[in-house]
Every structure is written in structure tokens, then in C-alpha cells.
A and B are shown apart, each in its own frame.
Chain A
């Protein structure tokens, strides 16, 4: 993902809450500190398909915002 970001593609990483710090650290380590992180509700395992869809809706909406910002 960091490599794609460096190439100028619109990128984002989806993290559940407790993993956001790890995501930020990794983005710095890989030289893309501005890599957008999209936070979703934890957890991802042990939830119903309906709950997964709910998290996907949140992530997709935020990614659309990113796309729109990029197009501007």
C-alpha cells in the first residue's frame, strides 16, 4: 500500500480502532506518513455479515470522500 501511495495512486488503509496506532507507525516506517487511515469499529472477527456490511459502508463512504478530495 505504501508503494502504491508513493506511485501517486489514491490509497487508504482500513484499520479497526486498536490498530490505528500500528497503522500510523507503519506508514511512517514505510515513508508515507500521510497515508490515510480509515478507522472502523473493532472487532472484525466474530461479527455477523450484517455487521461486516455496516463497517464496509463506513469505510466505503470515507474512501469516497478521499476520492472527491483528490479530484478537487
Chain B
């Protein structure tokens, strides 16, 4: 306790408030710190309990969150995680998600301040997902589990309270998205016929990772009729091929989520993940004639390839949504049902994966590895 007491004496590190749930929530509302829903008051005792699962110095920033470039110290993150309703054992994931979000390829400034609607989707892989009961099955993007509900909410609080993504001030989203309340799920690795995302990205299967995406809400892809992998892929490609998402205009990655039943059909017909990416790259294309003339003119100005390939190719020429097959991220998630999902992104952003690692550099095998002894 002495560590925390000392830290809380620093100017601005803490504020006095009445020891009353409603009074604290009124204060949070008045300061614009929350998301409009009630929060758990971040008392010193609760923050210290949260920090039991932090193996780093509590006042050393692990990242700076744009657009305010506020210091994301474990202490500040812990206060936000408490407010969001996290259990202490979730804290290593919150910290890893913050680090991932602040890596250069993710373009934190852009995703925070943009007029686009994107929230930050946290996708969890590895054994920690089960350890923390993170939903990867039925309704995984919806409500029901504490981990999904509060880990994503804690990241959002960090974006607002540390990063300054205040609506209309540092978050200029035209209308935002429900995914900005919370957006966290685990890949359904047991139901996937393919290697999970973290293995595909070079991590051991028994390592745990978080991957962040600058994500729109999931757009459902219903196909109850297709009997072949190609049939399912055709429906997915047709859903991706839309002229209004940012992805056709920029070169970030997109996220394709297959429900387990669709994934099984596709894999049964011999498609690897690479084959899926190649198919979608070739077929998820938008006819030039579906783009407004002004958009075509802009594409010609900003993307030299467009001029050479499409400027005079006629309205039936097909523009790829992803610029490379590798920019299509494929995961398996969800429960029973003939549904999949397409998740467009901010476009000027690449997803980032961070492993859960102990301070000595070893992959964490459990969140208990972070517990202070």
C-alpha cells in the first residue's frame, strides 16, 4: 500500500470524492470521464487490487495515447479498468491492448480523431482466453460475459480519459459506433479448421496475444444454402465488395470472421487460410461504375495504380477492396449457425498483435505470471 500511497500524493494523481456510489458517478459524468453508463468508483483500494496483476512499475508509462498523447501508466490504466468493471486478472490484457493500439502501424491518432465510426476491436488468442472466460462462441460480439464487456470498455476509457478522445473534441466521429462502448472477443480456436491468428503471426500456440483492429461493427454474412466452400466464399466476397467502406480507398487490412460452420465447409473443400485470402482478394472487387465520378477522379489523383488500371477501363472494371491478399485477416469466431461477418476498418490502419510477456521477456502461460508476489 505504501507504494500506491506515495504515488497518489503526486499532483493530479488522485482526487477527493464523497464515499458514495452516486456521488462518484455524478463526478465522473460532470468531468466527462465515462461512457454514460455507471462506473465502479476507482478507490485506492480497488486500484491497488487491480495492480496486483501488474509486474511493471506503476508510474512508468507503457505508451502515450493520442491525440492528447497522455501517459498510459499502469496506475492510470488500473483506475480506468476499475471504472470499467474489470476483474484484476484482466489487467494484463488491458495493458497489452493499450500497447498494441499505440504502435505506429495502428495509427492511433487517426483512429481516435477521425470522422469515421471505428472502435478498437480486441481479439484475444491463446490459453488466456479460456482462463479468463472470454467468449469466443455464441454471441461473442454481444453481451453476456464480464471479460468481453469490461476489457473493451477499459480500453475505451483509456482512449477517452488518457488519450483525450472526447466526443467532438478529440474524437470527431460523425456518429461513432456501439463498438465504442466495448469490443472484445476471443477467436474460437477449438472450432477453427485453420491455425489461429497468433500462430499465423509467428507466436507459439500456447502463447497468448491480443490483436487490435480499427473496426466497424460486424456486418452479417448469411448463407444457409451454400454446400461448397466456394459458395460461402462467393457470398463473403460479394459482401466485402462495397463502395462505401474506407477500405477500397486506403491500404490497411480488413477483417473477415467466419462462423465455425462456414469455416468447416470452406476447409472441407481444401481451402487453407492463404487460399481463402487469395480467393477474397480476387473476387471481393467493386465495379468502377459503382463509384461516384468524383471518387474516381480522386482515386486517379491519389493512387497512381488506379489511373493506369481503371481510369479508362470502363464501368465493369473491378477494383480490389484489399490491395494485397495479406491485408485480409481471417479468423474463426462464434457458435452454431450459418453466419459469418465482414468487419471493415478505418483503412489507414493495420492491425497489431502483442503477446502477453512477462518482464523477463518470456511468454506468459497464464495471467498468474503477472501477479505480484
Question: A residues touching B (Cβ–Cβ < 8 Å)?
Answer: 18-19, 21-22, 25-26, 29
Q: Does B17 contact A (CB under 8 A)?
A: no
- A26, B67: Cβ atoms closer than 8 Å: yes
- A21, B68: Cβ atoms closer than 8 Å: no
Q: Which residues of B contact A22 (CB under 8 A)?
A: 67, 113, 169-170, 172
Chain B nearest CB, measured from A32 CB (Å) = 14
Q: Which residues of B contact A21 (CB under 8 A)?
A: 168-169
Label chain B's interface by main secondary structure.
loop
Chain B nearest CB, measured from A27 CB (Å) = 11
**Nearest CB in chain B to that of A21: its residue:** B169
**Whole-angstrom distance between the alpha carbons of A8 and B170 in the complex?**
27
Chain B interfacial residues counted at CB < 8 A: 9
User: What would 20 A/B residue contacts be, using CB atoms closer than 8 Å?
Assistant: A18-B168, A18-B172, A19-B172, A21-B168, A21-B169, A22-B67, A22-B113, A22-B169, A22-B170, A22-B172, A25-B67, A25-B68, A25-B164, A25-B169, A25-B170, A26-B67, A29-B67, A29-B68, A29-B69, A29-B164
Q: Which residues of B contact A25 (CB under 8 A)?
A: 67-68, 164, 169-170
Q: Which residues of A contact B68 (CB under 8 A)?
A: 25, 29
**Nearest CB in chain A to that of B294: its residue:** A46
Chain B nearest CB, measured from A16 CB (Å) = 11
**Nearest CB in chain A to that of B169: its residue:** A21
**Nearest CB in chain A to that of B292: its residue:** A46
Chain B nearest CB, measured from A43 CB (Å) = 10
**Whole-angstrom distance between the alpha carbons of A19 and B68 in the complex?**
15
Chain B nearest CB, measured from A28 CB (Å) = 9
Q: Which residues of B contact A26 (CB under 8 A)?
A: 67
**Nearest CB in chain A to that of B70: its residue:** A29
